[in-house]
Structure 1
């Protein structure tokens, strides 16, 4: 404290300093929230913060402390009830614009969105929008499903959200077959999955096999 007339200064030791950011944070905690009319500071301490620069601390009797604690507990209980009510209210309005998710059963065929699958395409625009179809193994939780993925997809987690899945529909055009799956690149080499060996024969001293490829059951002319 500086006296301008007597040119005397009285220095008061400060046991702690507070920054402008802390003052701003403290002032913000006194504002009311949308869930209830109480501020976060009042919810925790049972009173609004004092913004006086000089505060005199006083000892609080044990009886007042117990009363204050009960008051804070009651305020916290009311805040939790208000928060739960607000969550239900927000959910009610949000569900108005939400579509009912499809309920897949084990054994169903679904398409998988490729937006979260890393492919070998040089650009995302040239990659397939939907991958599969894949078989649904089981339902996990309320909105996730486990799919049967190819063995080459060992690094991909087989559980996907229902928003990434699409029901496989039968072709509307008669005698229209589904295209075979694309090859999988393994060490920069195209590979297909073999289902079983159908037959074998010797031709010019070499042993030839007749194979059934995964995804080519509707294309007997491509079995070789």
Structure 2
């Protein structure tokens, strides 16, 4: 897999089993840190990424196996911080069609 400079990619969170670089891996935890922009191609299989500020302690060069192509538009990606909690999660059922008598 190859990426061009300017492509958006997701960074794989847990590349090796047992390694906890980005926190504990649980069932519904995110599988990738997204969407980072490719800044430079280094060699044949390494890429330098423009990482978010909260990951400034992480080295910005990654192997191609740790990257996944970001399919879709970056404006449609919802960040976890933007999601608001809703106190009442109930909903109203509306009859659409009677299927049987």
Which residue of 3, 25, 37 corresponds with 1:124?
A: 25
Give, in angstroms, the shift of residue 142 of structure 1. 0.8
Q: TM-score, normalised by structure 2?
A: 0.64
The two structures have a TM-score, normalised by structure 1, of 0.31
Which has a greater percent of helix? 1
Cα contact 1:115–1:129 (8 A) shared by 2: yes
Q: Any residues of structure 2 matched to 1:68-147 within 5 Å, and which? A: 102-116=1-15, 118-120=21-23, 123-125=24-26, 126-147=28-49
Q: CA RMSD in A?
A: 2.2
4+ aligned runs moved over 3 Å, structure 1 = none
The C-alpha deviation readout for 1:125-180, integer Å capped at 9, x for no partner, is 24211110110000011100000001121111110000011111137xxxxx6332
Structure 2: gaps (5+ residues): 83-101
Q: Distance in 2 between matches of 1:131 and 1:152?
A: 11
Kindly name which structure, 1 or 2, has the bigger radius of gyration based on alpha carbons.
1
1:109–1:168 Cα contact (<8 Å) kept: yes
**Aligned length in residues:** 76
Distance 1:118 1:165 in 2: 16
What is the aligned partner in structure 1 of residue 70 from structure 2? 168
Contact 1:132 1:181 in 2 (8 A): no
1:182 to 73, 80, 85: 80
Runs of at least 5 residues in structure 1 that lack an aligned partner in the other structure: 1-101, 172-176, 184-215, 217-224
